[in-house]
A and B are shown apart, each in its own frame.
Chain A
């Protein structure tokens, strides 16, 4: 059984401006949490801190013994070159990296799992299609198929459905719910509140700090959403140095 991911007093700053500020809380094992918040609320920053890509200014993240490399992470509509001369199956097969690394060979069974993953995201028969011929939605399906192969206990998604058509969104949402059903911990940054309310049991409303964190119904009240917007828009040029956590550092 996988352990919870505990954040205690996590602060991540760019040029000393906190993007995530004194955040504490727990992602329960097997939970499915939507991270919601206005632009600049620190949502992406939090995900990158969770996979250990950003150093913490303060606080700590206890991943309960999960190696950060075992966390699957899908960045925002990436800077990936969609005309890159690779076939769909070759991209999906990258999901095997954690098991075979740079040098071990792809066995017949591993190749079969690539085909299964493509079928699971509705791209049956696309194995040899060049990436350049795919639509944005199909490209996102390929990246989801790659995540399926990663077989990760924790899955992080950063705005996976932005600029994706409705049908693809519905199909891929089923994949995400499937991960939840298999007991994986799912954390997704999303903008569509309807979708969050419909599919995500838990929500973290983030505006640099946690405005609310808990069951979606109680976290995403209109009062909380309004507070989040106010918090994110406040930007104090002359902010003093934050003293929270100061006592701990002195101790």
Chain B
């Protein structure tokens, strides 16, 4: 019964395949963001891609290539700008990101409004399951593959740069390069996810499973795996919810991920509310 929409409709299967692919790549990035205490950077970059996508749609119509390129360019510009503002001025990175994303979001909505009724603002912000056509699905799967390969190659510098950026800086480990490369992957994943989830909601698939994973695993590798599994659950259940309850896909998937996060917060194995209440007997030594 729950599986019916996936069996029956090809567009549901495409959306599911795309979301499962991104569930493999986006949550691991989210785990790193949580550990860097940059949980909000995903929001910031998610909002940042909106003006790029909107401008491309206004100029070139609803073309996947144009909108994706516009989103990536706008996201990279904000990531770079905020990074430079943080490293080059007295403003901390989170504060400069807040500044950039407010401007970007306002600019995006203004562009959509100015271009008249040609762009569906709701679909852009909150996603539409029908937006996942074959090219979009290929883009999502390609992004997931590239991200996983990059994570495998760059795992060590990413971990060190996240744990102790000062160490890499002192050792001339080119800390800034790794950080910007990492942010580029974040932008790419958000752009890939926005077709299905919308620019406002894409970040949910990245951050909610990552925050939830902290309550289940004590090692970095474990958290990454748990985050991906939770994201896959949320994708499948969220798409079904979206179909049955007639809710846009973005909010449906994010709500499911949010439910998983609240369960983890309440009853996870590591440092959840329940784990704090239920103190298990201590060892002898």
Contact = CB atoms under 8 A, between A and B. Distances in A.
Interface of A: 51, 53, 67-69, 71, 73, 75, 78-81, 84-87, 90-91, 94, 97-98, 101-103, 130, 132, 150
Interface in B116-150: none
A159 to B, nearest CB: 15
B164 A94 contact: yes
Interface stretch (B97-105, B151-159, B229-237): B151-159
A176 to B, nearest CB: 18
A86 B163 contact: yes
Contact of B159 (A68, A71, A86, A150): A86
B250 to A, nearest CB: 29
For A68, A69, A86, A130, which residue has the most chain B Cβ atoms within 10 angstroms?
Answer: A86
B178 to A, nearest CB: 8
B156 to A, nearest CB: 6
B35 interface: yes
Given A81-B35, A84-B163, A73 B156 contact: no
B163 A97 contact: no
Which of A53, A67, A84, A94 has the most chain B CB within a 10 Å cutoff? A94
Given A78-B164, A81-B35, A69 B154 contact: no
Contacts of A90: 159
B218 A130 contact: yes
Contact of A69 (B171, B178, B219): B171
B16 to A, nearest CB: 30
Interface of B: 35, 37, 153-154, 156-157, 159-160, 162-164, 166-173, 178, 217-220, 222-223
Nearest to B172: A69
A97 B164 contact: no
A88 to B, nearest CB: 12
19 contacts: A51-B170, A53-B169, A68-B172, A69-B170, A69-B171, A75-B166, A81-B35, A81-B163, A84-B162, A85-B219, A86-B159, A86-B219, A86-B220, A91-B163, A94-B164, A97-B171, A98-B171, A102-B157, A150-B171
B169 A97 contact: no
A51 B171 CA distance: 9
B219 A71 contact: no
Closest 6 A-B residue pairs measured CB to CB? A69-B172, A102-B157, A85-B220, A73-B170, A84-B163, A85-B219
Contacts of A84: 35, 162-163
B160 A97 contact: yes
A133 to B, nearest CB: 9
Contacts of B222: 85
A71 B218 contact: no
B164 A80 contact: yes
Nearest to B162: A84
A86 B156 CA distance: 12
B162 to A, nearest CB: 8
Contacts of B159: 86, 90
Nearest to A97: B171
Contacts of B171: 69, 97-98, 150
Contacts of A80: 163-164
Contacts of A79: 166
A94 B158 CA distance: 12
A80 B169 CA distance: 14
B169 A85 contact: no
B151 to A, nearest CB: 13
**Taking each of B171, B178, B218, B222, which has the highest tally of chain A beta carbons within 10 Å of its own beta carbon?**
B171
A97 B220 contact: no
Contact of B168 (A67, A71, A97, A132): A97
Given A68-B172, A80-B164, A85 B156 contact: no
